[in-house]
Chain A
Amino acid sequence: MFKVNLIISFLTIFLGSNKVVAQLSGYINDQFTNEPLIGATIFCLNNNTAVVSNNYGFYTVKLNQDTIQHFIIYYSLYRKIDTLLLIKNNLSLNIELSPTNILQEIEVKANKEEIYTGEQLTLNEIKKMPVILGETDIIKSYQLMPGIKQGAEGFSNLLIRGGTSDQVQYILDDMPLYYVNHMGGFLSVFNSDAVSKVELFKNHSPAKYGGRLSGYFDVRMKEGNAQKWSGTISVGLLATRLNFNGPVFKNKSTLQLSFRRLNLDLITTPIIKALDFKTQPSYYFYDGMLKYTHKLNERNKISFSFFNTNDKIKILSKFSDSFTDLNTKFNLDIGWGNTAAAIRLMQNPRPKIFLTHVITGSSYNYIIKTRSIVSENSTETYNATNQFRLGLKNIIFKSNLDYNINNRLKYTAGLQYEFISSGLGDQSQTVKTANENSLRNFNGGKLVSNQLSAYMEAGYLPLSWLSLAAGFNNLLFISEGYTKNFFQPRVYAKADINPRQQISVSYCQNVQSLHLLTNNGAGMPSDVWVSANKFAPPQTSRQLNLSFTNFFSKKKYFFQTDVYYKTSQNLIRYKDGYGLFTPKNNWLETIETEGKGLSYGWENLLKKQTGKLTGFIAYTLSKTTNQFKNLNNGKPFYFNYDRRHELNVFVNYELNKKISFNANFNFATGNALTLPKAIYNVPIATEPNTQSNNSYVQDVNLINTNYVFYYDGINTARTSNFHRLDVAARFTKQKKHGTRVLSVGIYNVYNHHNPFAYYYSYNYGAQQFDLKSISVFQLIPFFSYEYSF
């Protein structure tokens, strides 16, 4: 049995001797840091009820008064508490759990009060997965789950069930984020040291989530150690991470700070500069998270969260023309980043009620600056600058109520107002010469929308083996004179066939009022978010999901299989030939609208959760097509990232408490792409000739013709299959003042060239077009050093 470690603090409230039920409520925290534990379970064996702590660690459960109740309280990688408690009246009880390295094996026979949970990977599982150059990445870990694709090799996108990168909403402590990638997509912006919990909703969307078609990626930051200051320093081949957290006022307020910066440019930039290349590129990124939490009293808490990322590419070019004595310098600066902040008030006015009120603002910016300087004999003769900027801002006010009517009935409701302003691109140009000093500004305009949404959801356990949830999210959308109401029902039902097997069915409708002008859905920082309007109305989707879950061998193994069917409407896509390089002020003319999407598939996950050897196998069989009236002759075509088969295998072996090994194998059939089938010639004009009527006529011939590619449809070809094996080892050592973890490994062990891009190159010798592929990440050994104190 585990050592019981329980600290009780309580207030007794007398409600009257006629009451036969009492409410037990409080917070579940880490014993040493006081960090709220999200999703911890309190299982009451007497009445076979299990409740789960919410996103702030709060729980509440109704019990019979004047009874002794038997509880098991447990949470992943924390020692369970098995205890008896006398319930006389309403009781406020804060529980502290102590961490352990061993996964607990708990047999819970009751239906949890938390009827539906999303896909969850623990931070411990995420840290064990080897990713790019030893850097832990939350999003890349989720890409291994069934039904989730990354897009092209290396990209940090979640393409869920045939959706594009914009169809997943990334939420960090209630702050929506709009571009969550560094390095053009190879690493996400989430620093795992500062993250407490991650949950991805894709099979079903609880009513409080809205605004995206494919899923919601909800990330919660840690609050920080309330007892003493602690932290982590990690240095790897790719980046350096710092995390510090601790009490500002002990047991009253905490501060959590984390920062991460790329290392690579610190090595490459001085080398390039020293070698004095004519073109000198450099790139760096940083991201930072801050959270301040203050406990006003036992029932009220306030917190402030702040998030900032910045990526910057710089290129300096210089060249000289010896014939003209002209020297030219060219500077290019490209930057993009998110900034977001949120203030949150959490209230627990009654044991059954939990309220949160949030004000949050978020901003995404993308900017390109160029400067050209021409000098002749050391005298500057020409100086021109050009700046292009676009971005998006939004402000959200929202309130949420969680009301536990009783152990079988829970009610959630909320209101949200959101203001969004998306800029289509402002440009300014200056030119200075001996004869000219000009400034031109061009305002691309803004699109503004206001959205008011209300949601309600009831979770009901009518029988011990049956869970039901029904609700809706209603959105009133107003933009540029276009007003429309969208009702989005959400229904979920789960039944226990027996203590180890469950089946569930869910149906949900989603609306997305923001379009992303993205090239092929890959997701680039220069993609533009634009608000829907009457010409490009909000996108909608409907999804039906059937699921079967089986625990076996005393819950050591977990198997889940899902079948889904999803349709989408009002999709948008760039017209043929349009993309990143199209001016955005007339964006409506560059897109096709009224697109339809159809996606269906079969997802499987087999997971071993306990023991020295853990891991999972995920397999997905799926198909996604899109259809637009003016594309591909109106016929359906494959979605760009339609991969028929996808298999991910992850294995972790704990040799002992100090050494562990892991391996990750990914296989997927090729993405769809458009490649030409043939070449043909196009006419070219000749010189003009006069005619007798003095008009000029130009002829065309094929003597000096041009050649162009012929395509027989969109996405009719396939890239080669994708597969890769990564291995790593972790060595943990307890030091005097902290813990050191050294990770070493190899990314892409057998050096398979997975294509990132394809292109045609003209071979002048053979006089033909060669098709070539570019692969980005070959065999790469990596290491990282992490010290926690």
Chain B
Amino acid sequence: MNILFKIAVLQVLWFCFACEKKITSYSPEVPPIQVISGVIVCDSAAKCYITKPNDLNTIKVSALENAKVFLYNANNSVIDTLHYKGSGLYKGKIILSSPNIFYKIISYANGYNDASCEFKLPSKPDFTINDLIYNYFYNWDPTYSIRNLPKNLSHITIQDTPNEDFYQLELYDIDSVENLPGKYDYKYNFINLTGSDNPAIKQEGEIALDLKYFTPIFFNDKLFNGVSYELDFYSGPNSNSNSGVLSSSKRLLLVVLKHISKEYYLYLKTVNKHLLAINYSGEGFAYIYNLYPYNQVYSNIDGGTGILGSVNSSVIKKIVVK
């Protein structure tokens, strides 16, 4: 609603008076910092991407190829060296499978500040599902979905006691039961996790925008507090799909719940808001310094920027849709 207010004020103003000018005098110096990006998955070797930031006129991935990257344990001893694999990727060999143990990655690169990040792997998610029911709407447009309500409404109930853990929930639609592992044809553009009548919780679980292939929702389990929630997911045909015929084939829905680190959760929250603003930049609403707050994407890299998240996941349920 407040976005609409902002649109309204600006429309009225621009209709009457506004004038736009490009600023060419702002050319800040790019800081000599490393960008470390990656998600450490439990039961996998440590890996991350190391790049450098660019000036505001350069949109490309600039890999740092000669960095020296080491993995340390809690005693500050080197336990692995991450080697360069191309395209900015550095990968180690040691499989990390112990949750709740601290590790540290440090990267040294000539001409750049040393960057480091401490992390620990989360434990496997411990979730109870009482029932499995779903709502499934074919078209992403809520107006259409409301018109096309399925006859048998149902919902997923998730109940848990609250603590300080963070989760990410994803849904995958596999085109054929027989075709596992496989690709999926339908990406869920809009997943809505609602709880009773509290729109704040709805907003917490709501995806702000389509992150291309990545359509998760992420939340803090303070949301739950012993309350059941309804999980609705909306899907629309993507450009790769050749069919809008859904109901005639057997489909497999996978509900995957991940236990993610707090740092990764904070990153997901802030990057969504940040990209939302940039996505609007074409219409001129981003970073209006009097009306829209700037939003720094969360980073847990000391001496640099980026995100090194950690994840532990397991499948909750497979649903065969007939």
Interface of A toward B, CB cutoff 8 Å: 151-152, 184, 264, 268, 279, 281-283, 313, 315, 332, 334, 368, 370, 372, 374, 381-382, 386, 388, 427, 431, 433-436, 440-442, 519-520, 522, 524-526, 574, 576-581, 583, 585-586, 640, 673-690, 694-712, 714, 717, 719-720, 753, 756-762, 766-778, 780
Whether A524 lies near B291 (C-beta < 8 A) is yes
Q: Among B56, B149, B184, B311, which residue has its beta carbon within 8 angstroms of that of A768?
A: B56
Determine the distance from Cα of A586 to Cα of B199 in the docked complex, in whole angstroms: 11
Most chain B CB within 10 A, of A388, A436, A677, is at A677
Whether B288 lies near A574 (C-beta < 8 A) is no
Interface with A: B75-83, B129-137, B268-276, which one? B268-276
Q: Which of B284-322 contact A (CB under 8 A)?
A: 284-297, 305-307, 311, 313-315
User: Besides A753-B19, A780-B17, 5 other CB < 8 A contacts?
Assistant: A268-B15, A519-B293, A576-B293, A696-B315, A757-B289
Whether B199 lies near A442 (C-beta < 8 A) is yes
Please, which residue of chain B has its CB at the minimum distance from the CB of A314? B8
Whether A773 lies near B23 (C-beta < 8 A) is yes
28 A-B contacts (beta carbon < 8 Å): A313-B5, A332-B8, A433-B146, A436-B146, A442-B198, A442-B199, A519-B293, A520-B293, A522-B291, A577-B270, A577-B296, A674-B289, A678-B53, A684-B212, A688-B256, A696-B172, A700-B39, A706-B275, A753-B19, A759-B288, A760-B287, A761-B284, A771-B22, A772-B22, A775-B20, A776-B13, A776-B17, A780-B17
In the assembled complex, which residues on chain A have CB atoms less than 8 Å from the CB atom of B211? 684, 706
Please, which residue of chain B has its CB at the minimum distance from the CB of A719? B289
Q: How far in angstroms is the closest Cβ of chain A from B170? A: 7
Whether B8 lies near A281 (C-beta < 8 A) is yes
Q: How far in angstroms is the closest Cβ of chain A from B42? A: 9
Q: How far in angstroms is the closest Cβ of chain B from A267? A: 10
Determine the distance from Cα of A577 to Cα of B180 in the docked complex, in whole angstroms: 41
Q: How far in angstroms is the closest Cβ of chain B from A364? A: 16
Determine the distance from Cα of A369 to Cα of B20 in the docked complex, in whole angstroms: 30
In the assembled complex, which residues on chain A have CB atoms less than 8 Å from the CB atom of B31? 677-678, 710, 712
Whether A577 lies near B295 (C-beta < 8 A) is yes
- Interface size range of chain B in the complex: 35 or more
Whether A767 lies near B281 (C-beta < 8 A) is no
In the assembled complex, which residues on chain B have CB atoms less than 8 Å from the CB atom of A674? 289, 294
> With A688-B172, A697-B44 given, is the CB distance from A702 to B49 under 8 Å?
yes
Q: Among A586, A695, A707, A771, which residue has its beta carbon within 8 angstroms of that of B200?
A: A586
In the assembled complex, which residues on chain B have CB atoms less than 8 Å from the CB atom of A583? 199-200, 203
Q: Among B87, B275, B281, which residue has its beta carbon within 8 angstroms of that of A708?
A: B275
B12 contacts the other chain (Cβ, under 8 Å)?
yes
> With A315-B11, A374-B143, A706-B275 given, is the CB distance from A683 to B39 under 8 Å?
yes
In the assembled complex, which residues on chain B have CB atoms less than 8 Å from the CB atom of A778? 17, 19
Determine the distance from Cα of A646 to Cα of B18 in the docked complex, in whole angstroms: 25
Q: Which of B201-217 contact A (CB under 8 A)?
A: 203, 211-214, 216
Name the prevailing secondary structure of the A interface residues: strand
> With A281-B11, A520-B289 given, is the CB distance from A711 to B294 under 8 Å?
yes
In the assembled complex, which residues on chain B have CB atoms less than 8 Å from the CB atom of A776? 13, 17-19
In the assembled complex, which residues on chain A have CB atoms less than 8 Å from the CB atom of B313? 695-698
Q: Among B1, B30, B271, B293, which residue has its beta carbon within 8 angstroms of that of A368?
A: B1
Q: How far in angstroms is the closest Cβ of chain B from A247? A: 42
Determine the distance from Cα of A678 to Cα of B23 in the docked complex, in whole angstroms: 16
Whether A581 lies near B59 (C-beta < 8 A) is no
Whether B199 lies near A685 (C-beta < 8 A) is no
Number of residue pairs A-B, CB distance < 8 angstroms: 292
Q: How far in angstroms is the closest Cβ of chain B from A189? A: 17
In the assembled complex, which residues on chain B have CB atoms less than 8 Å from the CB atom of A675? 26, 28, 287
Determine the distance from Cα of A569 to Cα of B1 in the docked complex, in whole angstroms: 32
Whether B270 lies near A442 (C-beta < 8 A) is no
Please, which residue of chain A has its CB at the minimum distance from the CB of B181? A690
Q: Among B56, B59, B291, which residue has its beta carbon within 8 angstroms of that of A771?
A: B56
Whether B297 lies near A431 (C-beta < 8 A) is no
Determine the distance from Cα of A2 to Cα of B294 in the docked complex, in whole angstroms: 63
The 7 closest A-B pairs by CB, nearest first: A577-B295, A678-B53, A690-B181, A579-B293, A757-B288, A680-B53, A768-B57
In the assembled complex, which residues on chain B have CB atoms less than 8 Å from the CB atom of A704? 212-213
Determine the distance from Cα of A686 to Cα of B231 in the docked complex, in whole angstroms: 23
In the assembled complex, which residues on chain A have CB atoms less than 8 Å from the CB atom of B282? 761-762
B178 contacts the other chain (Cβ, under 8 Å)?
no
Q: How far in angstroms is the closest Cβ of chain A from B204? A: 9
B41 contacts the other chain (Cβ, under 8 Å)?
yes
B99 contacts the other chain (Cβ, under 8 Å)?
no
B9 contacts the other chain (Cβ, under 8 Å)?
yes
B35 contacts the other chain (Cβ, under 8 Å)?
yes
Determine the distance from Cα of A706 to Cα of B254 in the docked complex, in whole angstroms: 26
B93 contacts the other chain (Cβ, under 8 Å)?
no
Q: How far in angstroms is the closest Cβ of chain B from A389? A: 10
Whether B21 lies near A696 (C-beta < 8 A) is no
Whether B87 lies near A574 (C-beta < 8 A) is no
> With A368-B1, A577-B293, A695-B313 given, is the CB distance from A681 to B35 under 8 Å?
yes
Please, which residue of chain B has its CB at the minimum distance from the CB of A443? B197
Determine the distance from Cα of A704 to Cα of B210 in the docked complex, in whole angstroms: 13
In the assembled complex, which residues on chain A have CB atoms less than 8 Å from the CB atom of B56? 676, 678-679, 768-769, 771
In the assembled complex, which residues on chain A have CB atoms less than 8 Å from the CB atom of B189? none
Whether B293 lies near A679 (C-beta < 8 A) is no
> With A382-B146, A771-B23, A774-B284 given, is the CB distance from A700 to B37 under 8 Å?
yes
Determine the distance from Cα of A703 to Cα of B216 in the docked complex, in whole angstroms: 19
